[in-house]
Amino acid sequence: MQEPFHYSEAGHLLLTYFKVNDHQYIEVFPSLKDAKEDRLSHISFETTDAEQLRAYLASRGVKVPDKLEPMGDGNRGFDVTDPDGHDVEFVEFRPGSLHSLSFGKALPSSRISQRIIHVGVVVKDREAADRFYKDVLGFREIWHGGMKDNETDWVDMRVPDGTDWLEYMLNVHDPDPKELGVMHHLALGVSSVKAGYETALKRGYTSEEKPQIGRDGKWQFNLYDPNFTRVELMEPKPVQKPCCAPMLK
């Protein structure tokens, strides 16, 4: 993936953008100060009308800014806090923004993936999370499963107007930074996990893990960055029957 631009203030680098596609980026902040600090800065969803969404969320009792302020990258958007304390950003791409000026650019065929298909966050109270993501934002459950058939450790919640999903990571208690890096993860969709795995190895990545079929019936392979954040290569469709519950299409 290429770094088409970065954002600085007063000569200090604040964040770097790695482009997955015209509408999805991985943002990396050089601000980790404590080895115990959560590596997840925020998760972000695109909206076509940030002001309309801000007003709607306010009407549903969600704490939002009184008004939209210009974003440093030229887009419009705002942040809210979900029931588990995660920073959730909503972004409307605007003409002339750093992102819009990069449309159609920095999209090499060498990218191992062309889409982020889900992100995972730790959820302590599923009912509270559902009130926010399901009842207010309109996400819907498409599958749930666990390490055992009679337990639920993961819940996949699909966005209202798309195919991507947010994964609740349940039953996580006092995780150390490495475990939290496993839980707070992103998944890159690939047509072949085997091919993605082989490409990663050819580019110098080393791992004792191998591609495997997960409990959701999908091929997957886990990579980890130097700060423990997990990046999951995943084929979007199951190749065998998922455990625990039917998977909605």
Q: What distance in Å separates the CA atoms of residue 181 and residue 210, rounded to the nearest whole number?
A: 19
**211: number of CA atoms within 13 Å, CB side?**
18
Q: What distance in Å separates the CA atoms of residue 231 and residue 221, rounded to the nearest whole number?
A: 8
DSSP state of 200: H
Q: How confident is the model at residue 33, as a pLDDT?
A: 83
Q: How confident is the model at residue 195, as a pLDDT?
A: 98
pLDDT in tens, 78-128: 999 999 999 999 999 999 999 999 999 999 999 999 999 999 999 999 999
How would CATH label the architecture of 2-101? 2-Layer Sandwich (3.30)
* pLDDT < 50: residue spans in the chain: none
Q: What distance in Å separates the CA atoms of residue 136 and residue 139, rounded to the nearest whole number?
A: 8
Please give the CATH number for the structural domain made up of 116-234: 3.10.180.10
Sequence spans of domains, the chain: 2-101, 116-234
| Chain mean position to CA 172 | 18
**pTM of the complete model:** 0.95
Q: Do domains 2-101 and 116-234 have the same CATH topology?
A: no
Give the amino acid at 23.
H
